[in-house]
Amino acid sequence: MAKIYFGGVEENVVTRGEFPLKKAREVLMDEVIAIIGYGVQGPAQAMNLGDNGMNVIIGQAPEFREDWDRAVRDGFVPGSTLFPIEEAAEKGTVIQYLVSDAAQRAVWPKLKPCLNKGDALYFSHGFSITYKEQTGVVPPDFVDVILVAPKGSGTSVRRNFLAGAGINSSYAVFQDYTGRAEERTIALGIGIGSGYLFQTTFEKEVYSDLTGERGVLMGALAGIMEAQYTVLRENGHSPSEAFNETVEELTQSLIRLVDENGMDWMYANCSATAQRGALDWLPKFRESTLPVFRKLYERVKNGDETRVVLEKTGHPDYRKHLNDELKALRESEMWSTGAAVRKLRPAGKD
């Protein structure tokens, strides 16, 4: 484990250089890794672990036919490497609990009796453990309770793995029964293809994750885009112009410059007019949104956001309501314009 300074703050980081895949294979040599849930994170982590030589089986409720059939298409064989949830959990020594947060609460009474002494109960989100009063997920004291949380969607975890890059992950140990919990955690993190692993806690992981999703990563980003698009349209700009100035230039140009060398480098490689305007307006946006982010973090910390998630996602008609919300988003003028713009992008070199 290396001590690395981020912004002058020392953190514990594990890289593939100091904990190579060969070592991860040795640590997990005798483990049977049961991936519970083949929905969002499950497929990527399962296939990455399998490609890295780990012994992987899938636990998936057969009645959720779409996910079951997807596992079959990905090469998992019913009765051999693909089982109902309880059967897979009983066979596994590492149980990667990767069903949705709401489903974890529902499935837990069936999963808990399947855990054996010395098993590792693995999460990719601190949600169920941190908010145990709401979820009822309280592990027995005879298992390791660990976390590896990739900082990206399942699609990105798989795509980056195939590209040879990996995606960064946080890791944490909540309960160390075997004395091997940290070693198992890091080995699993390397096994799923993490670029590097940084240390956290279950609590800090879920607080930062819920804040980020509702904030810059998704909620705030989409909200700010809609606000700017609306102002441009109100002032007579065409849908195409408003979309290109709001979304297309960000996603196809500027954010890639930020990714390469940071925000200051992106500013330095834009026009003087853009630089000056961005530097002058940055503090205005920061100060106007800071109270919103503070309120958001407090709601995450006190459990209000969790209650909303569990209440809404646990409703029997949730899937229909979600599809209606996504349909409204997709069919809005801004994102309808986006669909048309994407079709006009060049397919490749002439």
Residue 241 DSSP class: H
pLDDT reported for residue 315: 85
- Average pLDDT estimate for 98-126: 95
- 115-173, pLDDT tens digit by residue? 999 999 999 999 999 999 999 999 999 999 999 999 988 899 999 999 988 889 999 99
**CATH class of the domain defined by 2-202:** alpha beta
Tokens of 177: 């029964």
Tokens of 268: 């330095």
N-term to C-term CA, the chain: 48
pTM of the model: 0.90
Q: Report the C-alpha gap between 112 and 90 in whole angstroms.
A: 10
Reply yes or no on whether 125 is catalytic. yes
Specify the pLDDT at position 348.
Answer: 60
For range 275-304, the mean pLDDT: 96
Please say whether the beta carbons of 123 and 129 come within 8 A. yes
71 neighbors 60 (Cβ within 8 angstroms): yes
Q: Which of 125, 237, 315, 321 is catalytic?
A: 125
What's the pLDDT tens digit per position in 321-344? 999 999 999 999 999 999 999 999
Residue percentage of the chain with pLDDT more than 90: 84
Residues whose CB is less than 8 angstroms from the CB of residue 153 and which lie 6 or more positions away in sequence, other chains included: 40
User: Beta strands 56-59 and 33-36: pairing type?
Assistant: parallel
Is there a contact between 125 and 97 (Cβ–Cβ < 8 Å)? no
Q: Are strands 120-123 and 144-150 parallel, antiparallel or unpaired?
A: parallel
Q: Where are the domains of the chain?
A: 2-202, 215-343
Query: What would the two tokens of residue 37 be?
Result: 């849930």
